[in-house]
Amino acid sequence: MNKKKFKNVLVVLGGTSGERAVSLESGKACIKALKKKGYKVFSFDPKFKNFNLINKKNIDVIFNALHGRDGEDGVAQSYFEYLNIPYTHSGVISSYNAMNKINSKEVFIKNKIKTPNFFSIKKQFNKKKIINTLNSKRVKFPIVLKPVNEGSSLGVEICKNKEKLVKKLNKLLKKYTEIILEEYIAGQEIQVAVINGNSIGAIELIPKRLFYDYKAKYTKKAKTEHVMPARLTKRKYKEVLKIARKAHMVLQCRGVTRSDFKFFNNNFYLLEINTQPGMTSLSLVPEIANYKGMSFENLVEKILLDASINR
């Protein structure tokens, strides 16, 4: 790989979202990897300084290790574009659309990618109207509640009846402005990594918890079982790789994405696509890449060398 393209790397990490702790861990791991590869690495945490205060004088490229709001929803990316510094991962519009679960689902549906039936509600809601909408939209119990623009399964609840649904909605709408109500799909949890437009592999997750929530993702005690490669027939394995690549392309993503699927009744349902997946010791993209013979250091450098502006 040509290291002359970039010499001085600014890793942006931390931030103010609910995923700050994970971002710090991802960022530190990427800093270590880039230093091993011979880059001069600096760090920047937007929790303490505004993006406008990034000193572009000695920076060739930004490695964006932020997660969650203001980091992977187009906000940080718009600053990087304004500063005219090449940066990793997806651009402003694709980041915004991928982070917004309604926008991404509409893109999936338009492009004939299966996704669970859903609708969304805002601050004011009427119990009777919700039940009527559940019926008209063919959204059946159990129902998954999700904030429209959170990551790492923050704020996700599974409701098995109307009483729990109303109770959880009241709770979530105190914190979030809009909530998606999505039909729960049983079956296998399958996640696919796409790097620079190529699907590299699919991993299966077997959570010990009710679903692959924040604790299952980031705590060792949760003991989610990882099966690499996913337990699928060759034909189905190729199919899910193809769908993930299609999702990556139709949302015009760049760099790395991770698509989260449920496999049920011989169909894949795309739940969401992550434009800046975790890069921690428990993260899935590094595990998939490692299975394909790509070290963590080489993965991080591959992401870096794809950096550009006008993404």
Task: Give the pLDDT of the chain (311 residues) as one tens digit per residue.
Answer: 444 689 999 999 999 998 999 999 999 999 999 999 999 999 999 999 999 999 988 899 999 999 998 999 999 999 999 999 999 999 999 999 999 999 999 999 999 999 999 988 886 666 677 878 888 887 888 999 998 877 656 778 898 988 888 888 888 888 888 899 999 999 999 999 999 999 999 999 998 755 544 454 445 555 788 999 999 999 999 999 999 999 999 999 999 999 999 999 999 999 999 999 999 877 999 999 999 999 999 999 999 999 999 99
Tokens 């909408």 belong to 133
Backbone angles phi, psi at 100, to 5 degrees: -80, 110
